[in-house]
Amino acid sequence: MRNTSYSNNYAYEQPAPRSALSGKLLLLTLFLPLAGYAQTARSVTGKVLDATAGGLPGVTVIVPGTTTGTSTGADGSFQLQVPAAATKLSFSFVGYATQVVDITGKNTVSVTLKDDAQALGDVVVVGYGSVQKSDLTGAVSTLGTKDFNKGTFTSPDQLLQGRTSGVQITQNSGQPGGASTIRIRGNSAVTGTGQPLYVVDGVPLDGRSARPGLTTSLGDSPDSNPLNFLNPADIESLTVLKDASATAIYGSRAAYGVVLITTKRGKVGEPKFDFGVSGGFSHILRRIKVLDADQFRQALTYYGAPATNDLGQNNDPLGAILQTGPLQNYSGAVSGGSESARYRLSLGYLDQKGIVKKTGFQKYTANFVTNAKFLESKRLGIDINITASQSREQLAPITNNGDFRGSLIGQALQWNPTDKLYNEDGSPFVRLGQVINPVAQQAYYNDNSRVTTALASISPYYKFTDWLEYRALLATNYSTGIRRTSIDQRLNIVDYQNLGFAAISTTELQTQQMTHTLNFNKKVTPDLNVNALLGYEYTKFNYSGTGLSGRGPANADGTPIGFGTYGLDYTNYLQYSNPSGRLISSFVDPVTELQSFFGRAILNYKERYLLTATLRADGSTKFGDNNKYGYFPSLSAAWDISQEDFLKSKYEALNQLKLRVGYGRTGNQEFPAGSARSQFVFQANNGGLVQTTNANPNLKWQSDEQYNAGIDVALFNNRVTLTADYFYKRTTDLLYPNIPGFPAAPGGSSVIWQNLDGIIVNKGVELLLGVTAVDNARFGINISANATFVKNNVTGLPNALIIQTGTLSGQGLSGVLSETIQNGQPLNGFYLPTYNGINPTTGLYNDFTPASYAGNPNPTTIAGLSATFRFQKLSLITNFNGVFGNKIYNNTFNSVLNVSQIRAGKNISLSEYEAGTKESLANAVTPSTRFLESGNFVKLSNVTLSYALGDLGKVFKGASIYAIGQNLFVITKYRGFDPEVNTNKNSGVVPSAGIDYTGYPSARTFTFGVNFSL
C-alpha cells in the first residue's frame, strides 16, 4: 500500500513504515525536507469551465517547465501545490486550446477553456507568425474548417469561393484538377498570372504547376492547378492578406495579395482516428443550344444551304462525348500526443471522373506533422511538416489555341447532327476533310499526365524566455511532371493522318528556402505590449524540362507507314518515329535567387491603441544590375474605441468598434527568369546562336502602393459583426516586354523587358456582414454576406500609347486582338467595332461603327451569401455567389457557331437561327460587339444537408452523414456554358480577360458521405 500527500498531485510519495524505529527515523528524514518545502510551496485551487460554464473534468493542470501537475475532478475543480516562485499555470485538454494563466499573488483561479474552433477565431495567422485578432491593424480575412465550402474539391483555393470580401475566384476550366484564377482587390496584372502568393505553413510556393504543356500542333491546353498537391481535408485555416500593410512582409512577391494555408496539427491526448468517405457523380451544368437534326434540316432550307448537307441521321454529338462522371473520395488521419510531442498523420485518395469521357483526376496524398519539445524546460523544440502527393490527369483535346482543330468541344458543337458518329461495326466514323468527328477525336486521342510533389520543412526553435524566441525554417518544394500524348493515325488531322503522333515531355520544379527569425513578444510596461520580429530569408528557384515528339514512320518515298492501329500507346515506341520529323527539346531556366531582410513591430497600448510597422528588403537575380534590391515598407494603426471607458459603461451591447488605417508598398517579380540579361538559343539547323532577349541593367521592380481605411464592429455579444474597408491600390513601373506596339512582341523574337510609365488604379469598398440570429440548444440560424465594389482604370501611359491584347481564336479569327490597355479605360478593356444589326432586305451586316471602347472584362461587383440553419442534429447550409458589371466575349458564337458555317454543313446556334432576321451566309466571321455579352450571374454554388449521428456504440465517435450539391443552378443571360469559366490565354506574354474559348464545360456535382472517429 502507498498513500500520497496530495490526492491528485504528481509530487510527493511516502512509503508505509516497516517498524517503529525505522518509522521514527523515516518521519525525521521526511519532516526535514517537508519543512523546507512548506516554506517554498503554496496551494492553488480553482475550477476549469467550458464555454457553457460547465465544469471540465480531466483537464491537465501543470506548472510550465516542471513536472508538478494535477488533473481536474468531475466538476472541473482542482487543487495543486506549486513552488512559491511559480507565476503561471498551463491548462490543456483534448479539443480545447491550451491556456496559460498568470497566478502571481493568487491562490484561487477560474479558467474558461475555448474549443479549438473558437480559439482559431481569436488568433490570426499572419506573415511569419500569428497575432491576436484584437491586435490586427490590416485588412485580413480568416476562414476555418466550419467556414469552408463543402463538397468535392481538388485544391484548397476552391474552399474560399464566395466566402469572403475582396476575393474573386474563377474556375478556368470544368476539367477536374483545372486551375483557378484568383483576384484580390481587382486586376493589376499587365503580364503574368496576377495570382496571389500562396504560403503553406510558412513556405511560400513557386506558383507554377509541374504538369508539362501540350506539345502537339493542336495548341495550348488549359493550366493545371498548382495547389492540387494539397488535400483540402488537411487544411485547418485559410487566411487572406489583402492590403499592403498586411502583405508588405512578403515584399516583392505580394503584389497580388497573399493566401496563408495552415494545415491541421495533432492535439494532446490519446490517439484519435478520423475518417471520411464520400462518393457521388457529376453531369453537365448547362448546354449551349444548337440545332437538333430536324431544326438543322429546316435551317438548310431557310438559309438556302446545300440540301446535300442533310445526311439522314439524328444524332446528338455533344451528348455522345459526355457522361455522368462518378467520384470517390477517402481520407483518414491519426493524431494525438503529449505536451512534449504531438503528431498527425493523414492519407487521402480522390478519383473524380470528368463529365467528358476519357477525362478525370486522380490523387494520392500523405501529410505528416509533428511538434516535439525537449529539455526539462521545454524551451527547445522542433516542428516537422511533410506533404507528399501524386496526381494523375486524363485530359481531353481541349485547347485555347487559335488552331481550332484541337477543340473537342468546338467540334462537337459544330458537327452536323444529321451526320453519323459511328460506323456499322461500332468504330468511330472518320470523314475526310477538316471537320473532325468528336467521337473519333475522343477515341483516337490520348493525353495523360502525372505530377509528383513533395513539400518538406523542418523548423527548430529555442525560447530563451517566455517572450524571446529564435526560429529557423529549412524547406524544399520539389515537383516533377511527365506527360504522354498520342494521336492515332486513323484520325483525320492533316499533320498526322496515316502517320500518327506521339510526344513525351517532362518538367522539374524545385524551390529551396532558408529562413531565420527572432521573435519578441512582451509587456514592457503594464499598458504597453510589444510584438516584434526580425528575419532573414534566402530562396532559390530551379525550373527545367525536356520534350521528345515525332510522327509515325514513312517509306523512303514519303508514303506513310504510321505507328499502326494495334491499340498500343504510341509513346511506348517513339524510337520508331520518322527521324525527319522527330523533335528533341530541352530548357533550363536561369537559376533565380532571392535574398531578403525583414522586420515587423506591433505595439498595443492599453488594448485600444495599435500600431504596426513592417519593412522588407528583397534582392533578386531577376532584375538589372542597377536595381537588384527593392524596399517594401508599411505602416498601419488602429483604435479600438469600444475599449474606452466612455463607451464601455454606456453601451453594453457594443463588443467592438475598431477603426483602422494603413499604407504599404509591395512589389512584383512575375516575369521570366533571366529576362534582364541577354539570352540566346541554339539554332537547330546550323548550331548557331539566336538572341531572344536583350539585357536591361535598369530593369526594376514593379511597385504597388496601397492605402486602406476600415472599421470593425461587433454587437450583442458578437452576434452581429460588420467589417468594412475602403482601398486604393496604385500599380506603377509596369513590367512589359519590348517597346509595346501592335501587337505584343511575338515569341522567339528578340525583346527587351522594360518598366512602363503607366499606372493601374484599383479602388473600391469591401463589406462583410455576419449575423447569428438564433443560437440555442435546439435551433441555430447564421447568415454571412459579403460584397466588393471595385473600379479599375489605366492612366499615365506615354504618348497616347495603346497596347493591344485579348487574342480571339478559331476559323477566320487568326491573330485578331479584341482588347487594349490604354489611358482612361479599365485594364484589358474590350476595343471592338460596334455591331449595328443586319439589313432585313439583304441579310448583310449594316456598316460597323469603327472600333472603340466597348466594355469592361473586370467585374465591378462581387458578392457572396451563406446561410446556416440548424435544428437539433440536422443542419442545412446554402451558399450563393455572384459577379456583376463585367462583359464576356463569346468567342464560341463568333467563330464556332457562326451562321455562315451551315453552308459547309456545320451546325449553328439556335438563338441566331431564331433571331427573327434572316442572315446572309455571305457575312464573314467578324469580331464586333455582337458577341459581347453580359457576364452577370448568380449561382447557387453549394447546398449541404447533414445529420449528426453522434457516438454509435463504443467504437464510432462523432459520426455524421451528409449530402452536398455543388453548382446547382446559375441565373444568367450569358449564352455560353458558364459565365464563370474563362480559359486562360496569352497574346505573347500579355493575358486576355473575359474571353470564352469554348473550354471544358462546368459540372453539377452531388456528393454523399460519412465522417466518423474511432
pLDDT at 919 over 70: yes
Q: Is residue 471 part of a domain?
A: yes
Q: Which of 19, 180, 127, 251 is nearest to 602 (CA)?
A: 127
Cβ-based neighbours of 119, under 8 Å, separated by 6 or more: 96, 97
**Residue 16: its pLDDT value, please?**
42
Q: Which residue has 482543330 as its cell numbers?
A: 405
Helix, strand, coil tally for the chain in percent (to 5): 10, 50, 40
Average predicted confidence (pLDDT) for the chain: 88
What confidence category does residue 751 fall into, taking pLDDT thresholds of 50, 70 and 90? confident
Residue 401: what pLDDT?
A: 58
Distance separating alpha carbons of residues 216 and 795, to the nearest angstrom: 40
Whether the pLDDT of residue 712 is over 80: the answer is yes
Q: Of the spans 135-144, 149-158, 807-816, which averages the highest pLDDT?
A: 135-144
Domain shared by 203 and 108, yes or no: no
Answer whether 421's CB lies under 8 Å from 349's CB.
no
Contacts of 935 (CB under 8 A, 6+ apart): 857, 859, 883, 886, 887, 888, 972, 974, 979, 994
| pLDDT value at 834 more than 70 | yes
What is residue 139's predicted lDDT score, i.e. its pLDDT?
93
Q: Check if the beta carbon of residue 86 is closer than 8 Å to that of residue 121.
A: no
pLDDT at position 32 is 42
Check pLDDT > 80 for residue 686: no
Pick the residue with more confidence: 638 or 495?
Answer: 638
C-alpha cell at 313: 441521321
Beta bridge partners of 715: 654, 720
Q: For 837-853, what is the mean pLDDT?
A: 96
Q: Which residues contact 486 (CB under 8 A, 6 or more apart)?
A: 445, 446, 447, 500, 501, 502, 503, 563, 569, 570, 571
Is the separation of the CB atoms in 188 and 827 below 8 Å?
yes
What pLDDT, on a 0 to 100 scale, did the predictor assign at position 18?
42
Measured in whole angstroms, the distance separating CA 169 from the mean position of its chain's CA atoms is 8
pLDDT over 70 at 15, yes or no: no
What angle (nearest 5°) sits at the alpha carbon of residue 869, between those of residues 868 and 872?
130
Question: Is the predicted pLDDT of residue 736 greater than 90, yes or no?
Answer: no
pLDDT band at 213 (very low <50, low <70, confident <90, very high): confident
Q: Average pLDDT, stretch 867-875? A: 94
Encode pLDDT of 154-167 as tens digits.
889 889 888 999 99
Residue-level pLDDT at 217: 58
Residue 182 lies in a domain: no
Q: What is the CATH number of the domain that holds 698?
A: 2.40.170.20
Least confident of 195-209, 262-276, 548-562, 989-1003: 989-1003
As a whole number of Å, the end-to-end CA separation of the chain is 36
Residue 648 — very low, low, confident or very high, per pLDDT cuts 50/70/90? confident
Q: Which of 68-77, 663-672, 692-701, 762-771 has the highest mean pLDDT?
A: 762-771
Rounded CA separation 879/895 (Å): 35
Q: Which three cell numbers stand for residue 277?
A: 468517405
Query: What is the spatial distance between Cα 897 and Cα 318, in angstroms, rounded to a whole number?
Result: 14
CA angle 931, 933, 935 (to 5 degrees): 145
What are the Cα distances from residue 878, in Å, to 236, 784, 869? 21, 10, 9
**C-beta of residue 483 within 8 angstroms of C-beta of residue 508:** no
Tracing cell 474559348 back to the chain, one arrives at 997
- Kindly state the average pLDDT of the residues 751-761: 89
Q: What's the confidence (pLDDT) of residue 949?
A: 92
Helices vs. strands in the chain: H and E counts, helices first: 10, 54
CA dihedral 921, 924, 925, 930 (to 10 degrees): -80
Burial class of 378 by CB neighbour count within 10 A (0 to 12, 13 to 18, 19+): middle
pTM of the model: 0.87
Residue 174 lies in a domain: no
- Same-domain check for residues 252 and 396: yes
pLDDT at 52: 65
Give 34's pLDDT tier (boundaries 50, 70, 90).
very low
Task: Quickly state the pLDDT bin for 22 (edges 50, 70, 90).
Answer: very low
Residue 165: inside a domain, yes or no? no
CA dihedral 64, 66, 71, 72 (to 10 degrees): -40
What is the total count of domains within the chain?
2
Distance from the Cα of residue 407 to its chain's centroid: 27
**Domain identity same for 860 and 998:** yes
What integer is the mean pLDDT of 79-95?
85
Same domain, 853 and 735: yes
Q: Is the pLDDT of residue 461 over 90?
A: yes
Res. 1001 pLDDT band, cuts 50 70 90: very high
- Residue 30: what pLDDT? 39
To the nearest whole percent, how much of the chain has pLDDT over 70? 91
Residue 902 sits at φ, ψ, to 5 deg, of -65, -25
- For the cut 70, the answer to whether the pLDDT of residue 189 exceeds it is yes
Q: What's the pLDDT score for residue 180?
A: 86
Place of cell 485551487: 45
Confidence class for position 672, pLDDT limits 50, 70, 90: confident
> Are residue 388 and residue 503 in the same domain, yes or no?
yes
Evaluate whether residue 186 is within a structural domain. Answer: no
Q: Which of 471, 672, 508 is nearest to 590 (CA)?
A: 672
**Could you tell me if residue 161 is inside a domain?**
no
pLDDT at 827 over 80: yes
* The domain boundary residue, chosen from 85, 114, 143: 114
Mean pLDDT of 276-301: 97
Among 72, 88, 114, residue at a domain's last position: 114
How big is the CA angle at 424 (ends 420 and 426), to the nearest 5 degrees? 90
**Tens-place pLDDT, residues 768-809:** 999 999 988 899 999 999 999 999 999 999 887 888 888 887
Three-state secondary structure of 888-918: EEEHHHHHHCCHHHHHHCCCCEHHHHCCCCC
Q: What one-character-per-residue DSSP string does 608-661 give?
A: TEEEEEEEEEEEETTS-TT--EEEEEEEEEEEEGGGSHHHHTT-TTEEEEEEEE
Q: Tell me the torsion sign for CA atoms 949, 950, 952, 958.
A: positive
| CATH number for position 95 | 2.60.40.1120
**What is the C-alpha separation between 349 and 692, in angstroms, rounded?**
44
Q: What is the pLDDT of residue 981?
A: 73
Q: Comparing C-alpha atoms, which of 705, 801, 692 is closest to residue 737?
A: 692
Structure confidence at residue 40 (pLDDT): 67
Does residue 824 sit in the same domain as residue 966?
A: yes
From residue 253, give the alpha-carbon distance in Å to each of 71, 250, 665, 667: 48, 6, 11, 6
Residue 126 lies in a domain: no
pLDDT band at 2 (very low <50, low <70, confident <90, very high): very low
Query: Residue 55: pLDDT band by 50, 70, 90 thresholds?
Result: confident
Domain of residue 592 covers 197-545+557-746+762-1013
State phi, psi for 245 to the nearest 5 degrees: -65, -25
Confirm whether 192 is domain-assigned.
Answer: no
Distance, CA of 909 to CA of 291 (rounded, Å)? 6
Q: State the CB neighbour count (10 A cutoff) for residue 559.
A: 8
- Least-confidence region, from 110-114, 273-277, 419-423, 841-845: 110-114
pLDDT in tens, 922-949: 999 999 999 999 999 999 999 999 999 9
Higher pLDDT, 26 or 335: 335
In the block, which residue shows the cell 486562360?
A: 984
From residue 84, alpha-carbon distances to 39, 66, 102 in Å are 8, 13, 13
pLDDT at 747 over 70: no
Contact between 999 and 409 under an 8 Å Cβ cutoff? The reply is: yes
The reported pLDDT for the residue numbered 38 is: 45
| pLDDT score for 711 | 97
What span, in angstroms and rounded, lies between the C-alpha atoms of 385 and 406? 42
**Domain shared by 102 and 201, yes or no:** no
Residue among 830, 756, 825, 832 nearest 791 (CA)? 825
Residues 82 and 214 in one domain: no
**pLDDT (mean) for 47-65:** 81
Look at residues 114, 140, 166 and tell me which one is the last residue of a structural domain: 114
Report the share of the chain in percent with pLDDT over 90: 64
Assigned C-alpha cell, 20: 517503529
Asked if residue 236 and residue 106 are part of one domain, the reply reads: no
Q: 516-574 pLDDT, tens per residue? A: 999 999 999 999 999 999 999 999 999 999 999 999 999 988 889 999 988 889 999 99
CB–CB of 279/328 below 8 Å?
A: yes
Instruction: Name the phi and psi angles at 255, rounded to 5.
Output: -60, -30
Q: What is the mean pLDDT of residues 640-645?
A: 92
Which phi and psi (to 5°) does residue 751 adopt?
-125, 165
> CB-based contacts of 477: which residues, under 8 Å, 6+ apart?
203, 205, 206, 453, 454, 455, 509, 510, 511, 513
The pairing of beta strand 720-732 with beta strand 759-775: antiparallel
Tell me what the mean pLDDT of segment 355-364 comes to: 97
296, containing H or E segment: helix 293-303
